[in-house]
């Protein structure tokens, strides 16, 4: 299993720091687990392969391109800094 941990500052609350951990087996396209923490609370979830396919279809994006955008937003960290915004609600 591979994991990444990134520090994010959501545009919805730029003064706060959150930590985003993403874990996956083969690649993000086969699904992944996600943990978001503000160091006081933590929220967990899973995204299935079917969820990814459904979301890509909903926004009419090629599935491979959608998975690559997920990788850039959730895993790439510093390499994509400033390119993606997060909103915590």
pLDDT digits (tens, 9 = 90+) for 22-70: 999 988 999 999 999 999 999 999 999 999 999 999 999 999 999 999 9
**Contact (CB, 8 A) for 5 and 74:** no
- The fold of 2-80 is Dna Repair Protein Xrcc4; Chain: A, domain 1 (2.170.210)
Specify the pTM.
0.84
- Is the predicted pLDDT of residue 81 greater than 60, yes or no? no
Residue 87 corresponds to which tokens in the numbers above? 């909103």
Q: Who wins on pLDDT, 9 or 80? A: 9
DSSP H helices in 19-89: 49-58, 63-74
């Amino acid at each position: 299993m591979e994991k990444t941990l990134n520090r994010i500052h959501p545009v919805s609350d730029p003064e706060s720091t959150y930590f985003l951990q993403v874990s996956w087996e083969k690649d993000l396209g086969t699904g992944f687990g996600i943990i978001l923490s503000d160091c006081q609370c933590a929220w967990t979830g899973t995204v299935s392969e079917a969820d990814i396919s459904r979301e890509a279809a909903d926004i009419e994006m090629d599935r491979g391109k959608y998975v690559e955008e997920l990788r850039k937003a959730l895993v790439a960290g510093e390499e994509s800094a400033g390119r993606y915004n997060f909103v915590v609600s």
